[in-house]
């Protein structure tokens, strides 16, 4: 078969491109426009994501700073409150020690008075015994009373010693 001039022009690469452009041109242009649109949207979304991430980092940094400040303030307040409580306890302890020392002194003086009183009573009773004849029953009663009184004195002395040991701590 012989080639016609139309056949050679149809096989020419430029002609093929023209035919493709006529047939597929609008779709190709739409696809390219859509691709360019999607590329632009993707760039815009990436930039928005970067901006949002940056804003988020800054916001988190500010919140972290605020939290650190709040924690520091709370710690300072707790330390101050703890110091005040410790001081109150030390003051109360000191007051209790002074009160205990006063009670000890008072008990010691009372025990001394009781000892002196019993010594005087004993002297009186001994002088009465010397001066008069006393029956054995009266003497037994008298000695029993003195034993009871001496036990009380010993108990008071023990209490004084216990209080003395506790206050000496």
Domain ranges of the chain: 14-168
Residue 25 has pLDDT above 80, yes or no: no
Residue 67 has pLDDT above 80, yes or no: yes
Which one-letter DSSP state was computed for residue 120? H
Residue 4 has pLDDT above 70, yes or no: no
pLDDT at 131: 67
pLDDT at 2: 46
Compute the Cα dihedral for 155, 161, 167, 169 and give only its sign: negative
pTM (2 d.p.) = 0.41
Report which of residues 166 and 42 the model is more confident about: 42
**How many other CB atoms are found less than 10 A from the CB of residue 104?**
20
Backbone φ/ψ region at 48: left (φ over 0), alpha (ψ -120 to 50), beta:
alpha
Give the integer Cα–Cα distance in Å for 55 and 63: 12
pLDDT at 154: 81
Residue 95 has pLDDT above 50, yes or no: yes
């Amino acid at each position: 078969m012989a080639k016609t001039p139309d056949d050679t022009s149809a096989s020419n690469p430029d002609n093929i491109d023209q035919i493709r452009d006529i047939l597929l041109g609008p779709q190709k242009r739409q696809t390219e426009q859509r691709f360019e649109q999607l590329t632009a949207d993707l760039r815009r979304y990436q930039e928005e994501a970067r901006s949002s991430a940056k804003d988020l980092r800054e916001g988190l940094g500010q919140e972290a700073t605020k939290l650190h400040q709040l924690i520091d303030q709370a710690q300072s307040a707790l330390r101050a409150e703890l110091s005040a409580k410790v001081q109150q306890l030390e003051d109360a302890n000191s007051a209790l020690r002074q009160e205990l020392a006063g009670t000890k002194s008072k008990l010691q003086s009372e025990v001394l008075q009781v000892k002196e009183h019993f010594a005087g009573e004993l002297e009186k009773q001994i002088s009465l015994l010397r001066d008069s004849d006393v029956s054995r029953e009266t003497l037994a009663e008298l000695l029993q009373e003195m034993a009871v009184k001496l036990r009380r004195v010993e108990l008071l002395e023990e209490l004084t010693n216990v209080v003395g040991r506790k206050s000496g701590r």
